[in-house]
């Protein structure tokens, strides 16, 4: 094998390349389980704060830096909220609302809260309901039935209004209704 000019130049430069740090000084990121990503969390203690990194479920859309905690155990995981609002022409203090999202509490003592589950709340500020995926599917079926009944009630009201707006036969013939 012949030595060419490029190989001679590269060999001459090798001594000039500074040594690189060994792998012992590199801090590798921890392995993260499937379905999770490594996410930063801001932990505020007194007047100081630190950024820690924790496994964050892929459904979690909370910004754990913008919403700091006092301890890593305080981190909750929540997904995006889906909502339905019931309008009113009446005098309610606030419209009827229902909100649902996926959440988990990694340090809960009850495994059902620790696992990803569906949380449902309203505008009252009450804790609301926490349901398993199976319970959520049953509720969805019930809501589909409720929606069909709501359509039926709308048609009943529409027909009642149509009948009420027609003059009676007696009025049309000049009699007393």
Residue 143 inside a domain? The answer is yes
Total domains, the chain: 1
Residue 1 inside a domain? The answer is no
pTM exceeds 0.85, yes or no: no
Residue 48 inside a domain? The answer is no
Higher-pLDDT residue of 16 and 139 is 139
Strand locations in the chain, DSSP E?
Answer: 36-45, 48-57, 77-78, 82-86, 96-104, 117-121, 129-131
Domain that holds residue 160: 133-177
Averaged confidence pLDDT in the chain:
87
Task: Answer whether residue 94 shows pLDDT above 90.
Answer: no
Residue 110 inside a domain? The answer is no
């Amino acid at each position: 094998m012949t030595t060419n000019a490029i190989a001679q130049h590269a060999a001459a430069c090798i001594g000039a390349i500074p040594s690189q740090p060994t792998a012992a000084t590199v801090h590798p990121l921890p392995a993260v389980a499937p379905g999770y990503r490594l996410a930063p969390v801001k932990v505020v203690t007194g007047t100081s704060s630190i950024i820690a990194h924790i496994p964050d479920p892929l459904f979690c859309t909370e910004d754990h830096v913008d919403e700091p905690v006092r301890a890593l155990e305080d981190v909750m995981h929540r997904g995006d909220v889906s909502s339905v609002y019931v309008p009113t022409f009446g005098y309610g203090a606030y419209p009827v609302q229902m909100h649902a999202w996926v959440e988990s509490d990694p340090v809960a003592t009850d495994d059902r809260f620790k696992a990803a589950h569906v949380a449902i709340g309203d505008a009252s500020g009450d804790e609301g309901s926490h349901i398993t995926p199976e319970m959520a599917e049953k509720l969805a079926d019930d809501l589909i039935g409720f929606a069909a009944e709501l359509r039926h009630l709308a048609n009943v009201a529409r027909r009642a209004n149509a009948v009420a707006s027609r003059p009676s036969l007696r009025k049309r013939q000049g009699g007393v209704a």
